[in-house]
Amino acid sequence: MAFLFFLCLLPLLSSAHRYPPSNPRLKKAYVALQAWKHAITADPKNITGDWSGPLVCNYTGVYCTAALDNPSQMTVAGIDLNHGALQGSLPVELGLLSDLALLHLNSNAFRGTLPGSLKNLTLLYELDVSNNQLGGGFPSVVLELPSLRFLDIRFNSFCGDVPSCLFDLPLDALFLNDNHFTFSIPENIGNSPVSVLVFARNQITGTCFPKTIANMRNTLHELIVMSAGLRACIPPEIGQLTKLRVLDLSHNGLVGNLSGTIGGMTSLEQLDVAHNKLSGEIPGSICDLPHLKNFTYSYNYFSKEPAR
């Protein structure tokens, strides 16, 4: 969903614009991008081969548009280096790109962590650093980005706790999967307005999924918590997620019964609770879900399937 913002913005962005040397925004962008070029240790596709000279709007992967607060000045509004196979680090000078709205860096090999200077990117709407080699604790700088709506840090080596205040942010999509986080799902998870939430392949602790999940009834479309070490129960409140289309809780240690309230999840298309320790009868209400296409429940301790 958040990528629609990028698609709408693309017609406004152009790498063909030239600008007078007096443009202070592009002067700062030049400093930032040159520092970044020097921090890149391998560029097998020669993406940064044309990153030379002051015309930064002509650089590969760099997109410019008129500044929001001064349409007479061009500024760097987007950087897309997805699938570049770039190696190196993210320099502190990236904080000079204060008009940046989009930063897409997935499928590279950047190391280190996100520099704290990114807090200066107050217009940043989408941040995708997935599938890199970033590490350290949770990158707390993302908590200081007031315009952020799409956050994807999956497939890295971030570790430690996930701050509960993350779920108070007005995000539309949140991907934390395939890191080394160890955390409990906080009680304030219901404050999050995300439509997509992915925790998979981390280490989640706690005794029961928070009942406040019901507060996400009007926003949440996908919830994926597979292979996360979740050893808890599924609260009946989960049945109030009437907009949810995908629910994957497989390969965990979930115990107890599968609540009949799941029959209230009328938008559900995919339901996977396989490889858990669930028991009792499978509620017949699941068979009445109007849009259900796949229900996987193998490798549990269910005593009875519903009559069809």
Query: What values do phi and psi take at 47, rounded to 5?
Result: -65, -40
Quote the pLDDT of residue 221. Answer: 98
Rounded distance, CA 70 to CA 182, Å? 44
Asked if residue 114 lies in contact with residue 140, where contact means CB atoms within 8 angstroms, the answer is no
Rounded distance, CA 276 to CA 253, Å? 5
Q: What percent of the chain shows pLDDT beyond 70? A: 92
Residue with tokens 């017949």: 284
- Among 12-26, 126-140, 186-200, 285-299, the least confident range: 12-26
DSSP secondary-structure letter at 188?
G
Query: Which tokens is 67 given?
Result: 């500044």
At the topology level, CATH places domain 1-157 in: 3.80.10
Q: Give the residues across from 126 on adjacent strands.
A: 102, 150
Model confidence at 200, in pLDDT bands (50, 70, 90)? very high
Quote the pLDDT of residue 20. Answer: 45
Delimiting residues of CATH 3.80.10.10 domain(s) in the chain: 1-157, 161-308
Query: Which tokens is 153 given?
Result: 């840090």
Rounded distance, CA 260 to CA 237, Å? 10
Q: Kindly provide the residue ranges of all beta strands, DSSP E only, lying in 133-276, ordered along the sequence.
A: 133-137, 150-152, 157-160, 173-175, 180-184, 196-198, 203-205, 222-224, 246-248, 255-257, 270-272
Mean pLDDT score of the chain, rounded to an integer?
Answer: 92
Q: What percent of the chain shows pLDDT beyond 90? A: 86
- Identity of the amino acid at 299: Y
Asked if residue 75 lies in contact with residue 26, where contact means CB atoms within 8 angstroms, the answer is yes
Collect contacts of 204-210 with beta carbons under 8 A, ≥24 apart. 204/228, 204/229, 204/230, 205/229, 205/231, 206/230, 206/232, 207/231, 207/232, 207/233, 208/232, 208/233, 208/235, 209/185, 209/233, 209/234, 209/235, 209/238, 210/185, 210/186, 210/235
Asked if residue 263 lies in contact with residue 286, where contact means CB atoms within 8 angstroms, the answer is yes
- Among 87-101, 227-241, 243-257, 267-281, the least confident range: 227-241
Q: Among 84, 76, 62, 59, which Cα is nearest to 23's?
A: 76
Q: Report whether pLDDT(18) > 60.
A: no
Quote the pLDDT of residue 12. Answer: 44
Rounded distance, CA 10 to CA 164, Å? 34
Rounded distance, CA 265 to CA 135, Å? 37
Residue with tokens 């009680």: 187
pLDDT by residue (tens digit) across 155-186?
999 999 999 999 999 999 999 999 999 999 99
Asked if residue 217 lies in contact with residue 195, where contact means CB atoms within 8 angstroms, the answer is no
Q: Report whether pLDDT(19) > 60.
A: no
- Identity of the amino acid at 197: L
Quote the pLDDT of residue 17. Answer: 47
Quote the pLDDT of residue 208. Answer: 77
pLDDT by residue (tens digit) across 71-83?
999 999 999 999 9
Quote the pLDDT of residue 91. Answer: 98
Q: Report whether pLDDT(2) > 60.
A: no
Quote the pLDDT of residue 109. Answer: 98
Q: Report whether pLDDT(45) > 80.
A: yes
pLDDT by residue (tens digit) across 243-275?
999 999 999 999 999 999 999 999 999 999 999
CATH entry 3.90.79.10 includes domain 161-308: no
Q: Among 217, 211, 212, 210, which Cα is nearest to 194's?
A: 217
Sign of CA dihedral 290, 281, 254, 213: positive
